[in-house]
Amino acid sequence: MMSGAIPDIRAIELEVRPLLVSGRYEEAEAIVRPYLASGTGPLVLWKLLAAALRPQGRIAETRVIQEMLVAHVPGDFPARFDLSETLLLSGEFERGWREYHYRYSLAHTAHIERKVQRPRWDGRAMPGKTLLIHDEQGYGDTFQFMRMVPWAKEKSGARVVLEINAESLSLVRRSAGFDEIVVRGTLPPAFDMHCEMMSLPMALGLRLHDLPGPIPYLSPDPQRVERWRQRLADLPRPLVALVWAGRPTHPNDANRSLSLGELAPLVQAGVSFVSIQKGPAATQAGSPPDGMRLLSLSDEIDDFEDTAAILSVTDLLVSVDSSPVHLAGALGRPVWVMLPKVPDWRWLLDRADTPWYPQMRLFRQDLRGDWSGVVSRMAAELARCRAR
């Protein structure tokens, strides 16, 4: 691994890292490759090479390097986390979930780890005891992994206390699998063991064929549904909800988001669109593509209860990879997801469906950064659906 003299590794890093940040992966690879041509070289250069290969979609090559890094330095937790995402992306759940635990060893995620003076639940039966399950990451993660709370209750035989973020609390109250629910930031009742929501797959031994489980597992508020049904009653059908950008602070946002103008090919006679886009990108709804009948609801949406009700009234959600996708899936609503060339691990590889949500279709980029093919295929499919 460490044989062979490498000139000024720090200089190579300083040259390559800006290329990775700016998405110039082929250039980064071209710089690093010669130093590793013999099959040996410093670990830091192998890490840079893996970081250049993965966004190009060269997953098998990336995995070989990641496996080598973990084998040589098992205490390199960021390398183990990188491997976990590659394993999960490849559908190798058993080992992938184990390695995914190392997410708490990263500089940008260490702050979210719950410091709990109780053991983490490992899937054992614990009748007569109390299990605390707590969410930990984004809203979409909460919606996606909520399905496993009833599974954990059944397997553990325990009394389950669910700790949830305030924004999702009222929606999650109507779901199943817990005996008590508390809001994150408050003191939970006494418990014997705990488990992060996204560690439930490891504790449960989740496999691909265990998915999706019962769908829907979240439900909208009937009063909100009626309110939004009346609000949208005059719009011609089909009624398509749109989300074209994710949270700007997300580390992968540049890779997953696009502009409203890029959705212009979706414009078709008789189709009505409603924007449920939040954040800075919502202002784009003020200047929709020519011919697009678009009603912006962004300023009228107060919380996820409103979003859930709108999704229950509309015919389809078209969205980038963001929390409304998981909310729609958990509600059992039809949703089309626009995915980058190399997506987040949960969407797997080379498939137009997902085991997580049976009502969901995936539209993937053929070329990195090119949304035109994705939108063109969606437009054609929308036309076919209307013709049926």
Q: CATH number of the domain that 43 lies in?
A: 1.25.40.10
In a domain, 167, yes or no: yes
Task: Give me the pLDDT at residue 5, please.
Answer: 52
**Whole-Å CA distances, 319 to 137, 259, 277, 322:** 20, 11, 9, 7
Tell whether 183 and 235 lie within a shared domain: no
Distance CA 154, CA 173 (A): 18
Whether residue 212 is contained in a domain is answered as no
Q: Give the mean pLDDT of 245-259.
A: 79
Pair 160, 29 in one domain: no
In this model, does residue 112 exceed pLDDT 80? no
- Percent of the chain residues past pLDDT 90, beyond the cut: 87
* Residue 213 within a domain: no
Q: Which of 56-70, 105-119, 146-160, 372-386 has the lowest mean pLDDT?
A: 105-119
Q: Are residues 229 and 197 in the same domain?
A: no
Query: Which CATH number characterizes residue 187's domain?
Result: 3.40.50
Percent of the chain with pLDDT over 70: 94
Residue 211 lies in a domain: no
Do 361 and 240 lie in one domain? The reply is: yes
Residues 186 and 248 in one domain: no
Domain hosting 15: range is 9-111
Span 334-348, average pLDDT: 97
| 187 in the same domain as 144 | yes
Q: Any idea what the CATH number is for the domain that residue 263 is in?
A: 3.40.50.2000
Output the average pLDDT for the chain: 93
pLDDT at position 2 is 38
End-of-domain residue from the set 206, 236, 261: 206
Residue 109 has pLDDT above 70, yes or no: no
Residue 3: pLDDT band (50, 70, 90) is very low
- Regarding whether 310 and 275 lie in a shared domain, the answer is yes
Within a domain: 2: no
* DSSP tag of 120: B
Would you say residue 121 has pLDDT above 50?
yes
Are 30 and 152 contained in the same domain? no
What's the pLDDT band for 110 if we cut at 50, 70, 90?
A: low
Do 254 and 305 reside in the same domain of the chain? Answer: yes
CA distances from 101 to 30, 81, 346 (A): 33, 8, 15
176/192 Cα distance (integer angstroms): 21
Total number of domains in the chain? 3
Of the candidates 111, 143, 177, which is a domain's last residue? 111
The amino acid sitting at 251 is: P
Q: Are residues 270 and 323 in the same domain?
A: yes
For residue 320, give every residue at least 6 positions away whose Cβ sits within 8 Å of its Cβ, in sequence order, or none. 243, 244, 245, 246, 256, 257, 258, 337, 338
Contact 70, 51 (CB under 8 A): no
Grouping H, G, I as helix, E, B as strand and the rest as coil, residue 215 is: coil
200 and 90 co-located in one domain? no
Q: Residues 187, 319: one domain?
A: no
Residue 215 lies in a domain: no
214-227: average pLDDT = 98
Q: 64, 96, 111 — which closes off a domain? A: 111
* Helix pair angle (9-21, 43-53), 10° resolution: 20
Question: pLDDT value at position 136?
Answer: 86
Report the SS3 class of residue 317: strand
Query: What SS3 state is found at 296?
Result: strand
Arithmetic mean of pLDDT, 269-284: 96
pLDDT at 14 over 80: yes
